[in-house]
Amino acid sequence: MSTNPYRVGGPVGGTPSFVGRQDLLGPLQSMLADEQRHALLLWGQRRMGKSSVLQHLQSQLQAENHWLIIDLDWQSRAEFTLDEVLKELATMISLELEISSPDWGIGVWPQFWDWWTAHLAQSSAHLLFLEDEFEVIATGDPPQKREILKCLMQLLPTNPARIKWVFAIGCHLDSLPKESRAFFGHMESRRVGYLEQEDITALIELSKPVQWSEEGKQRLWQKTAGHPYFTQSLCSDIWQHSQASPAVDIRPSDVEQSFKHSLRSADSILLAFWDSLSTAEQVVAVGLAQGKTWDKVAPRTLPVVHELERARDSLIRWQLVAPAPSYQFRVEIIRCWIVENHGADYQTGLDKLVPAAQTIYEVAEKLQPTVYAKVAEQLLEQVLILSPHHFAARRLLARVWEEQRQLAKARQKLEELHQEGILNVQDDLIRVLLAQAQVMRDHPPPQGSRQYSQRSKQEAEQRALYERVLQLDPQNAQAHAGKQQLNKQRAERHWEWQLNHFWQQFFWPLSLGIMALIALVLAYGLDRSAFPENMVFEFAKETETRYILKSIPSSTPSLHLDEVKLELLPSLLKSVELHYDDRKLTLSTMSPSSFTFTKDLLQRAWPDQPSFAYPDKTHEFKFEWQLELSQPSESVPQFNCTALSEQKAAVPCEIKGAGFLQVFRNLPWLGWALLIWGLEIILVLMIQGLRSVERDERY
Show the 3-state SS of 596-657: EEEHHHHHHHCCCCCCCEECECCCCCCEEEEEEECCCCCCCCEEEEEEEECCCCEECEEEEE
Low-confidence residues in the chain, pLDDT < 50: 449, 695-699
Gap between the Cα atoms of 301 and 305, Å rounded:
8
Residue in 575, 569, 547, 574 with CA at minimum distance from that of residue 631: 574
Strand partners, 276: none
For 256, phi then psi, to 5°, come to -65, -40
pLDDT of residue 589: 66
- What 3-state DSSP class applies to 405? coil
pLDDT of residue 499: 65
**What is the DSSP code string of 97-120?**
HT-PPP---S-HHHHHHHHHHHHT
Beta strand residue intervals within 315-432, DSSP E: none
* Pairing label, strands 583-588, 638-645: unpaired
Gap between the Cα atoms of 564 and 112, Å rounded:
151
pLDDT of residue 70: 92
For 513, phi then psi, to 5°, come to -65, -45
Distant-in-sequence contacts of 596-602, Cβ < 8 A, 24+ apart: 596/563, 596/564, 596/565, 596/566, 597/563, 597/564, 597/565, 597/566, 598/562, 598/563, 598/564, 599/561, 599/562, 599/563, 599/646
Whether the model clears a pTM of 0.75, i.e. scores above it, the answer is no
* Pairing label, strands 613-614, 583-588: unpaired
User: Other C-beta atoms within 10 Å of 329: how many?
Assistant: 21
Q: Give the N- to C-terminal CA distance of the chain in Å, as an integer.
A: 73
Strand partners, 465: none
Q: Are the C-beta atoms of residues 692 and 537 closer than 8 Å to each other?
A: no
Residue in 126, 117, 72, 119 with CA at minimum distance from that of residue 94: 119
